[in-house]
């Protein structure tokens, strides 16, 4: 064999090895902040099911619930550097890494589930996906529909804004959400999600806000008595993949991952519609929780929008972006 043929052979073998490496079966890890029975888990299980179906069982994944792989914000860092494959987390915990996602956390930006779905399926969400890849090194491939974040507490029923006075509320380390509570005259306590149950249990904080599905999955009924049916933030929770992990895959695998994410998003919507009412009933029957309707929520909305929205126009992409979202939802511009 002459020198030229040797080089050709070596190059061919190298190319073959590289192709094999890119198509090797993988069993990826998915970090999940919430526990079993949550909307996050439901999305994750459907994603794994569809990923296996789309790849002929060549690729699979495993869920690690209850923050086993770190706090939700920690998992973004880990995915960005490629030491974690996937994570499911609240959009407000991803927003510090890609600020335009904060538009989803503006208080009362969504009036109902249908508006959240319309946004996820439209061009605004597609732009947020691209921004997140650019800003944080992770790619959003699916969305969990988790429901409105309702306020639970152990101190008293909260039926009007004045009832919130003196209630110590845990909030995520998210400036928009912190300022929302401040607009209501409250002094919230920013705290990592992984510390929340213990803080509620020990009385470090009186309350917190998360969707009904999360209250149930995290067994907050064991340490909380009252729920106020608040509607200030519809929680969308992205499924993210490390962009470096995604780019390491061949085109067929990338398409399989994206398709599995889309299927899981669709399933999450039907899961929420089916489960949320049942879960609310179980929170009452199993834990004896009391669910109250706010008598003056229009006042909550006005205070939050007047104080919070203008402060964050620039960070979420500009007032024009907010107006574009409002227009797409059939709402009046600001």
Mean pLDDT of 44-65: 98
pLDDT digits (tens, 9 = 90+) for 282-310: 999 999 999 999 999 999 999 999 999 99
The pLDDT assigned to 22 comes to 45
- Percent of all residues in the chain with a pLDDT value above 90, rounded to a whole number: 92
Mean pLDDT of 192-207: 96
Mean pLDDT of the chain: 93
This prediction has a pTM of 0.91
**315, burial (CB in 10 Å: exposed 0-12, middle 13-18, buried 19+):** middle
Alpha-carbon distances of 112 from 24, 26, 119, 325, rounded to whole Å: 43, 39, 11, 14
Angle, helix 113-120 to helix 251-287, in steps of 10 degrees? 170
The pLDDT assigned to 21 comes to 41
* Whole-angstrom distance, CA of residue 98 vs CA of residue 77: 12
Rounded to a whole number of angstroms, the distance between the first and last alpha carbons of the chain is 75
315, two tokens: 């960070």
**234, burial (CB in 10 Å: exposed 0-12, middle 13-18, buried 19+):** buried
**171, burial (CB in 10 Å: exposed 0-12, middle 13-18, buried 19+):** buried
Alpha-carbon distances of 190 from 134, 176, 300, rounded to whole Å: 27, 11, 20
SS3 3: helix
For CA atoms 86, 218, 216, 164, give the dihedral sign.
negative
Under 8 Å between Cβ of 71 and 99: no
Q: Which domains does the chain have, with CATH numbers?
A: 3-146+236-276 (3.40.190.170), 150-233+283-328 (3.40.190.170)
pLDDT digits (tens, 9 = 90+) for 6-41: 333 333 333 333 333 445 789 999 999 999 999 999
The pLDDT assigned to 24 comes to 74
Angle, helix 297-312 to helix 175-183, in steps of 10 degrees? 140
292, two tokens: 């109250």
The label of the residue with tokens 């990592």 reads 192
Under 8 Å between Cβ of 124 and 250: no
Neighbouring residues of 141: CB distance < 8 A, sequence distance ≥ 6: 239, 240, 241, 257, 258, 260, 261
pLDDT digits (tens, 9 = 90+) for 108-124: 999 999 999 999 999 99
For 161, how many CA atoms within 13 A lie in the half-sphere containing its CB? 16
The pLDDT assigned to 23 comes to 53
Q: Which of 148, 149, 103, 147 shows the shortest CA–CA distance to 125?
A: 103
- Tell me: pLDDT of 4 over 60: no
130, two tokens: 């691209």
Name which of 6-10, 157-161, 261-265 the model is least confident about: 6-10
């Amino acid at each position: 064999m002459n020198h030229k043929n040797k080089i050709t052979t070596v190059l061919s073998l190298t190319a073959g090895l590289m192709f094999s490496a890119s198509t090797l079966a993988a069993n990826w890890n998915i970090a999940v902040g919430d526990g079993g029975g949550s909307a996050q888990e439901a999305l994750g299980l459907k994603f794994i099911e569809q990923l296996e179906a789309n790849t002929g069982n060549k690729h699979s994944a495993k869920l690690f619930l209850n923050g086993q792989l770190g706090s939700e914000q920690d998992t973004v860092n880990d995915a960005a550097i490629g030491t974690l494959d996937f994570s499911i987390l609240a959009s407000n915990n991803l927003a510090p890494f890609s600020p335009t996602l904060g538009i989803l956390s503006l208080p009362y930006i969504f009036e109902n589930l249908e508006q959240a779905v319309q946004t996820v399926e439209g061009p605004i969400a597609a732009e947020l996906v691209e921004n997140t890849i650019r800003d944080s090194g992770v790619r959003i491939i699916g969305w969990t529909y988790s429901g409105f974040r309702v306020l639970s507490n152990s101190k008293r029923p909260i039926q009007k804004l004045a009832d919130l006075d003196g209630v110590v509320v845990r909030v995520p380390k998210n400036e928009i959400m912190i300022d929302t509570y401040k607009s209501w005259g409250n002094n919230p306590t920013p705290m990592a999600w992984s510390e929340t149950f213990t803080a509620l249990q020990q009385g470090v904080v009186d309350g917190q806000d998360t969707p009904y599905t999360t209250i149930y999955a995290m067994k907050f009924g064991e340490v909380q008595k009252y729920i106020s049916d608040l509607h200030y933030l519809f929680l969308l929770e992205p499924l993210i993949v490390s962009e470096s992990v995604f780019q390491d895959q061949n085109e067929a695998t990338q398409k399989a991952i994206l398709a599995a994410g889309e299927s899981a998003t669709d399933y999450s919507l039907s899961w929420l519609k089916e489960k949320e009412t049942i879960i609310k009933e179980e929170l009452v029957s199993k834990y004896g929780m009391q669910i109250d309707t706010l008598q003056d929520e229009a006042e909550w909305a006005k205070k939050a929008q007047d104080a919070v929205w203008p402060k964050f126009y620039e960070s979420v992409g500009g007032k024009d972006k907010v107006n574009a979202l409002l227009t797409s939802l059939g709402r009046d511009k600001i």
